[in-house]
Structure 1
Amino acid sequence: MEIAFRKADSLKNHPDQSSLGFGTIFTDYMFNMDYNPDQGWHNPRIEPYGPMEMDPSTIVLHYGQTIFEGLKAYRTESGAVQLFRPMDNIKRFNQSGDKLCIPPVDEEFVLHALVELLKVEKDWIPSAPGTSLYIRPTIVATDPYVGLRVSQTYRFFIILSPVGAYYPEGFNPVKIWVTSKYVRAVRGGLGEAKTAANYAASLYATEMAHKEGYTQVMWLDGVELKYVEEVGSMNIFFIIGDELITPMLNGSILAGVTRNSVMTLARSWGMKVTERKISIDEVYAANEKGELKEIFGSGTAAVISPVGHMKFDGTEITIGDGGVGPVSARLFKELMDIQYGKAGDPFGWTVPVA
């Protein structure tokens, strides 16, 4: 399919790169494409960023039939632009769509469309240290119908946002609150999909955590409220002794691209990496024995987020000395060096944008 282009009447002023937050500023253009049963995915176009008109009865507004992804474009020291494992995000996009009964997109065409959009918006990709261009592909159901059924029509769009650090703390350790009262997802549900309902389910407990002075919630399994699953916006890792442990994918945990990158890097160093069930009681027992060395989260937005303090059932523990651990620091540096082109990419993860 040929991608049409509609020029904007005027362009926005670019923000100060030294004060970028996360997800509040958007570029001049977006990519749009539509779906109906007769034409399939059609009418791909790059056009000015702006509101989308929806009927008040549109299915996505009432039943949440929607999926999204998150990835980034990085500007290297030479001024070149590259993506990090974009096909993994696009493949996961279709996997989420399967859970929400959304017709699949052509993965190679989506990458092509993204690259074309980035070429148009290349001047929006920041170059200040630690900044990047966040990319949000999304599909929403667009049938005007107040009735619970699968939509027949959809809108696929990609929006772009220049960003700095995801957490106000930056790479400094965050504080995590573990809830044994609320659950986010259960096996057989939507926990492994990037869909609105998956994140809406986390809002109430997250607000409670914020009121207690904690950055994020760490969720336990939805059946026994015993086993660690993930943090609101991150997968979670524990270093106990000399072993790097992360909860295994069980249908209620998102298969993070950064999660996989962390495990691949750590194994390449010769570390023992294990995916298995790990209970919150085991974590606290390891800390009591002095065996819990580090906890950190991983995700596209924050990359690596060290955990300095964690509270569960009224007891707060300090992880290590409360600072950034050596493994967290090394992972953060090596991942960032690959993403920004400061180091070689032995895994073939980066994709240049011409």
Structure 2
Amino acid sequence: MELDNERILSSDSQEGDLTDFLSLRPRFLREYIGQQKVKNELDIYIKAALKREEALDHVLLYGPPGLGKTTLALVIANELDVQIKTSSGPAIERPGDLLAILNELNAGDILFIDEIHRLPRIVEEVLYSAMEDYYVDIVVGQGATSQPIHFELPPFTLIGATTRAGMLSQPLRDRFGIMAHMQYYQEADLNEIVKRSAQVFGVDIHPDASYEIALRSRGTPRVANRILRRVRDFAQVNDGDGNIGFQHAQKALETLEIDKYGLDALDRRLLQTMIDYYNGGPVGIATIAVNIGEDVVTVEDMYEPYLLQTGFIQRTSRGRKVTSLAYQHLGYPTPKE
């Protein structure tokens, strides 16, 4: 079975995710599984802000997609017992769009901006004074009728989420007092997430089945929950009650072509292309993208981070290179140095 671009292992949100994810999301830090270092630090900062009766300092959440940045922003709002307004970088096109959102905030509220690295520069510059001194100056009108307007804002918390922290400008990055790096999850934490999600779905899952799903979820909760839903489909069709045994998990994962390392057909095609056509590299990322029919950004955001993390490819000064682990996993003879 060849997978299309809406791959099961994509860590981007897909249609059908939202309803389940709303019910699967934890509401408080004590319910949030994994990211222990980030949770411990946030717990202290939140308690300190509540004790001082101040707005929490601005927070930047960064790391690969699908690791729970949006969920963590909602958890922070619940812990502070404040409202949260959500938007995304591409959706805020003009300073007026930003002002309209900020105008809805009360003291202590949270503004969450996903993909904050994609904010237009003109909007970002307006955000500086809003974050630092809680005011916005914008110019209304054009030509001779234009006039500056000064808006005072209540103390608020900006939570920015990004998969590309390096693309944030230095002035914007410096205005975040709390920086939280989201890491890929360990299998044990993913196993707990899968078991919790199965409870939310109202199905029983065998411990071996939940661990098998966790093992192949690329260290990403969003992927784990997506695989769980597909395994649940197999269980319901085969047995009717929807309860998930190890055989159901195995059959579903085989059909989805997700191997023991969490690689799917598209990951393997990328590695095979590098080996078959470029002797394993080094080869440029743009060349790889053209050969597998994807754009460069998709390869950099969806394929490369996990392949780097698991040691299947390396970055060199001349391009990407396949490692000996990839040769062994795909059944190729390992080349001699």
**TM-score past 0.5 threshold:** no
Name the one with the larger strand percent. Answer: 1
The two structures have a TM-score, normalised by structure 2, of 0.26
The two structures have a TM-score, normalised by structure 1, of 0.25
Name the one with the larger helix percent. Answer: 2
- Max Rg structure: 2
